[in-house]
Structure 1
Amino acid sequence: MARPLLDTVETFTRLAGHNRVAMLLFRLGDRQAFGINVFKVREVLRRPRLERMPSMHELVSGSFDYRGQTIPVVDLAAAMGYPPLADVASAHLIVTEFNRSVQGFLVSDVDRIVHIDGSNMAAPPPALGYGARVNAVTRLDGDLLAVVDVEQVLASVDPRAVELSERVQQAAHVQKVGSRRVLVVDDSLVARTQIVDLFRKMDLECVVAKDGKEGLEKLRELAAGPAADRVALVVSDIEMPLMDGYALTRAIREEPGLRHYKVLLHSSLSGVFNEAMVERVGADRFIAKFQPDVLATAVLELLPA
C-alpha cells in the first residue's frame, strides 16, 4: 500500500509555487483526519518491532533500524492526546525527514494523499484545544482536517537550544546590525521562537507574522510608515496556511513598493526542488532549517549596507 501511495508525490510537486500543498492523510484513533506535508514523508510502513531504553522520553515508543540507520519512533497518537499505539500491532509508521533529521511517527492508519488550497487553510481556533501541535485546519469533503506541526512535536521530545558561534556573533558586532528590523514569517511556534532567539543574539529586532498573508500585510504597513519602522529583510518559511512562502515572495516581487526587499526562504524541507522554486519566484536565498550559523551568516550577507 505504501509504495503506490507515495509514488504519486511527483505528481503533486507541480502544485508548489501556486499556494497549494500535498497532504498525506492519517488518523490517530477515531474519525478525525490529520495531515502532514508529503515532502516530509520518506515512507509508510507497518509498525516494526521497536527497541526501547528506560531513559527514553515518554512519547518515544522506541527505535528501530531503518535502512541501516537507527531512528527514534514518536507515538504521535499519544502526543496528540489519543491512546498510545506502541503496542498496537495494526499501527502504521510514517518515516519522515525534516530539519536535517530522520524519525518515525506512529499513527493508527494512513488514508491517502490529497492536495489542499493554501488559501483555505487557517490557524486553528484556541477553543478546538489542539494547542501548538496543530498549525492549520481546513475542510475536506465537509470534514475537519488538522495539519500537525511535527516540528513542534519533535521539539517537545528533543528540545534544542539555539546556539550561535562566537565567530558569527563577532561578525554581527563588526557589521553593526543592531537596531535593524527583520520580518520573520512562520506558522510554527517552535520555528518562530528559534529564529527570534537567534536574531536577538545578533541584536536584530524582529517583527513576527504567522503566515504569508499576515506577513504581506505587515510588510505593506511598515513600508508605508516611518523609515525607522521599516524592515531590512524578510525571512519566511515556505509551508504556511493562507499564503505560502513562494506565493509571498511572488507577491513581494510583483508589488513596486516592495520588490526591493531581500527575501530569504527558510524551510524544514531541503533539496534541489526547493532551490529551483526559490529562483523561480525571485527569492534571494534558501536555507534549510535549522542551522543557526548558516542562517545568521546568510542574514548578514543579505542585510543592506
Structure 2
Amino acid sequence: MSTMRDIDERTNLASNSMFELLLFRLGEAPGTNRRELFGINVFKVREILVMPEITAMVNMPSTVMGVANIRGQMITVINLPKVVGCNPTKGLGILLVTEFARTTQAFAVEEVNEIVRLEWKHVLSAESSGGGLVTSIARLDGNAENTRLAQVLDVEQILRDVMPNDHSSEVDEAQVGAVKLPPGTVVLAADDSAVARMMIEQGLKAMGVPYVMTKTGKEAWDMLETMTAKAQAEGKTIQDKVSVVLTDLEMPVMDGFTLTRNIKQDGRFKGIPVIIHSSLTGSANEGHVKSVGADAYIAKFVAEELGNTIRSVLARR
C-alpha cells in the first residue's frame, strides 16, 4: 500500500509531466533471440511477488494460468508472455499484481528489471506503426541517440482479449439515458487505447452526445486550439463549441495531468469542465488528480456512471 509520502512524491512527478515506469522482460521475441523491454505504469502495480503456487482452473483460456491465493484474495493469473507471443527461456519467476479499471489481476513475467522516471514527452504513440497490444514506445534515455526502448502494453486491450466476458463493452441505452449538451457543443475526448476509445464512443453515442475523439493529450490540446480559432472567426467563443473535456491520464507525448493543467491555467477555456476518466483507480489516485484542477474523476468503464458525471458537471457549469 502506498504511503502518503509515496503519493505526494508521485503527485510532484505528475506536476512536472513525469511518471514512473516499471520495466520487465517476457522472454525472447518471436523470430528473434532478443529479450525486449516492456513497461507498465507503477501506479497500476499493487505488488511484485516471487511466483506463488497457482491453481489451474478448468475451461480457462490458454493465456490464463489459473488463480493464486494472495493475502486471502483469489486473483486470476495471466500468462503475459503467451499473450504477446514471447518465449520465456528463463521461466516465469515473477508475478505483477495490478489494479486496473476496478479489477485486480496478476501478470506472470520472466523478470523485473527496474523502475525508471520519464517525462511524458519521451513516450511516443505506437498506433501509427500498428502497435496492436502496445499503446506507446518509451525512450528510456530521453533524446540520447542510442536510447533504450520499452514497449508500454495496452492493458485494456489485453484484458478484453483474454477475458472478454469480464470486460464487455455492451451499453444499455435505456439505462444510460440521454445527456443534453448546450446546443452546438461537443464533448472533446482523449484516450490512447483503441479499445478504450471504442467503449467511450459507444457510451457517448448511447447518450446521444456529439463528440470529437483524439488519441493523446497533445492531439486534444491542438484540437482545442483549432476549435478556438474557428470559434473566434465565427464571432463565438470556445465555450460555444466544447461543453466538456473527457481525458485519460496515461497518454504519450502529453498526459492527462498536463492537458488538464493547461486547460485550467488558460483563461480562454474558463468554465469548460474537465473530467478525468482513468483506469488508475483507488482513493490515492482520485486525490492525485484533484491536484491539477479536474472537475470530476471517474474510473473506467461504466457508461451509466460516465453519463451521470457529465450531467453533474454540466449542471455546475
The normalised TM-score by structure 2 is 0.84
Partner of 2:302: 291
Cα distance in 2 for residues equivalent to 1:176 and 1:27: 46
Pairing 1:89-238 to 2, within 5 Å after superposition: 90-124=92-126, 126-127=128-129, 130-131=131-132, 133-141=133-141, 142-159=147-164, 160-164=168-172, 166-169=174-177, 172=178, 175=180, 180-226=185-231, 230-238=241-249
For structure 1, the 5+ residue unaligned runs are none
Cα distance in 1 for residues equivalent to 2:183 and 2:87: 49
- Contact 1:49 1:64 survives alignment (8 Å): yes
Partner of 1:16: 14
Alignment counterpart, residue 300 of structure 1, candidates 305, 308, 311: 311
Cα distance in 1 for residues equivalent to 2:265 and 2:182: 28
Give the 3 Å change call, closer, same or farther, for CA 67–178 of structure 1 in structure 2.
Answer: farther
Larger displacement relative to structure 2 (13-22 or 37-46): 13-22
Give the 3 Å change call, closer, same or farther, for CA 70–273 of structure 1 in structure 2.
Answer: closer
Shift of 1:89: 5.1
- Contact 2:127 2:135 survives alignment (8 Å): no
Q: Letter of the 1:274 partner, please give it.
A: N
% identical aligned pairs: 39
Q: Letter of the 1:152 partner, please give it.
A: Q
Give the 3 Å change call, closer, same or farther, for CA 188–125 of structure 1 in structure 2.
Answer: closer
- Contact 1:17 1:277 survives alignment (8 Å): no
The DSSP-based 3-state class of the residue aligned with 1:79 is: helix
Partner of 1:82: 86
- Contact 1:22 1:116 survives alignment (8 Å): yes
CA distances 1:81-136 after superposition (whole Å, capped 9, x unpaired) = 11268xx7552110101111110001110011111110111112654x541x1111
Give the 3 Å change call, closer, same or farther, for CA 12–256 of structure 1 in structure 2.
Answer: closer
Quick check: 1:265 aligned with 2:269?
no
Shift of 1:272: 3.1
Alignment counterpart, residue 73 of structure 2, candidates 47, 69, 82: 69
Give the 3 Å change call, closer, same or farther, for CA 155–9 of structure 1 in structure 2.
Answer: farther
- Contact 1:162 1:292 survives alignment (8 Å): no
Quick check: 1:277 aligned with 2:277?
no
Shift of 1:275: 2.8
The normalised TM-score by structure 1 is 0.87
Q: Letter of the 1:68 partner, please give it.
A: G
CA distances 1:247-287 after superposition (whole Å, capped 9, x unpaired) = 10111122222233110011111233333333322211111
Cα distance in 2 for residues equivalent to 1:282 and 1:199: 24
The DSSP-based 3-state class of the residue aligned with 2:15 is: coil
Partner of 2:31: none
For structure 2, the 5+ residue unaligned runs are 29-34, 142-146
Q: Aligned pair count? A: 294
Give the 3 Å change call, closer, same or farther, for CA 75–177 of structure 1 in structure 2.
Answer: farther
Cα distance in 2 for residues equivalent to 1:51 and 1:178: 56
The DSSP-based 3-state class of the residue aligned with 1:102 is: strand
Shift of 1:9: 5.4
Cα distance in 1 for residues equivalent to 2:27 and 2:243: 47
- Contact 2:181 2:209 survives alignment (8 Å): no
Cα distance in 1 for residues equivalent to 2:58 and 2:88: 17
Cα distance in 2 for residues equivalent to 1:179 and 1:84: 54
Give the 3 Å change call, closer, same or farther, for CA 259–180 of structure 1 in structure 2.
Answer: closer
Cα distance in 2 for residues equivalent to 1:126 and 1:278: 29
Question: Root-mean-square deviation (CA), in Å?
Answer: 2.7
Cα distance in 1 for residues equivalent to 2:243 and 2:169: 26
Give the 3 Å change call, closer, same or farther, for CA 278–47 of structure 1 in structure 2.
Answer: closer
- Contact 1:42 1:96 survives alignment (8 Å): yes
